Amino acid sequence: MESTEHLTQTFTERRLADAWAELQAHANNGNDLKADAYRLAFADPEFLLRRETRGIRFELEMLKPDLAQQDLGIDNTVVVFGSARVREASIAQEQLAVAEASGDAQAIARAQALLRNSAYYDKAREFARIVARYSAGCPKEDQLYVCTGGGPGIMEAANRGAHDEGALNVGLNISLPHEQSGNPYITPELCFKFHYFALRKMHFMMRAKALVALPGGFGTLDELFEVITLVQCGKAKPVPIVLFGSDYWKRLLNLDVLVEEGTISPQDLNLFTYVDDPMDAWNYILKFYALPRA
């Protein structure tokens, strides 16, 4: 005979499911969603999307990915940042052919740049493979999991590399005005969608044991400088920060100017390093933590 506690739990779960089923049926029937005072608060999207309930949404975006990763034992991650626009070489070559056929000089120049940068797709993929292979031989509590922003480009390449090795990997996607969805190589149970950039960036740091930034645009810079700032100010534990693609990063960022102008200390330039090879990036991380090489 079932215990009273179990029956109570079952009844509660049934009521919660019924609340959502009622809402889904409402939508399936083509009815407009209108305020309903009698609807359970947690099953009332109109209520949850009010400005006043923003704090609740913050908490939900914090909890959902956190609990899901806990359930799968994802405690330590290597976060890979990089451009969503970079494609693997074969696709970049096709895009260049289309641009050349159009005769549009600007389109051709953009396509040539993307083809040139397609090498970073392969390097991000290989780096993730290295991480996954190394972790496969570690105890569960010491394993490192690749984590990205969950989109296309460099992010896809890193998730793909982990996927190649059969490893769990994480994607922290963001809802944007233009359509974007998680890339197909993320472990489905670890593919999350965020509304708030701030919560998404917090999740990047919560489990990060290393961060690798490949060439990217404003989004990559935003994520990179947030990490550097948190470590510089002591708000986050020191972690290895790797700028992959020394020519790109040194052309883009002349950070010596900050030292010359006294806006950062000379030792702040030691918070990160430049590399050009996937194994060099991984060896830097191993050296940072005094871990044995594979």
Asked if residue 43 is part of any domain, the answer here is no
pLDDT mean values, one per 10 residues, the chain (294 residues): 58 58 65 72 84 94 97 97 94 93 93 94 98 95 96 97 98 84 94 95 96 97 96 95 97 96 97 98 96 80
Asked if residue 163 is part of any domain, the answer here is yes
User: How many domains does the chain contain in total?
Assistant: 1
Q: What is the pLDDT of residue 195?
A: 93
Point out which residues pair with 104 in neighbouring strands: none
Asked if residue 160 is part of any domain, the answer here is yes
Q: What is the pLDDT of residue 177?
A: 81
Asked if residue 165 is part of any domain, the answer here is yes
Q: Print the domain residue range for 240.
A: 61-87+118-287
**pTM above 0.85?**
yes
Q: What is the pLDDT of residue 22?
A: 65
Q: What is the pLDDT of residue 173?
A: 95
Query: At 83, which CATH number?
Result: 3.40.50.450
Asked if residue 3 is part of any domain, the answer here is no
Asked if residue 279 is part of any domain, the answer here is yes
Asked if residue 8 is part of any domain, the answer here is no
DSSP-based three-state secondary structure for 3: coil
Are residues 164 and 48 in contact, defined by beta-carbon separation less than 8 angstroms?
no
DSSP conformation letters of 197-260: HHHHHHHHHHSEEEEEE-S--HHHHHHHHHHHHHHHTTSS----EEEE-HHHHHHH--THHHHH
Asked if residue 7 is part of any domain, the answer here is no
CA gap 80, 148 in Å, rounded: 5
Tokens 């940072």 -> residue: 288
CA gap 120, 89 in Å, rounded: 9
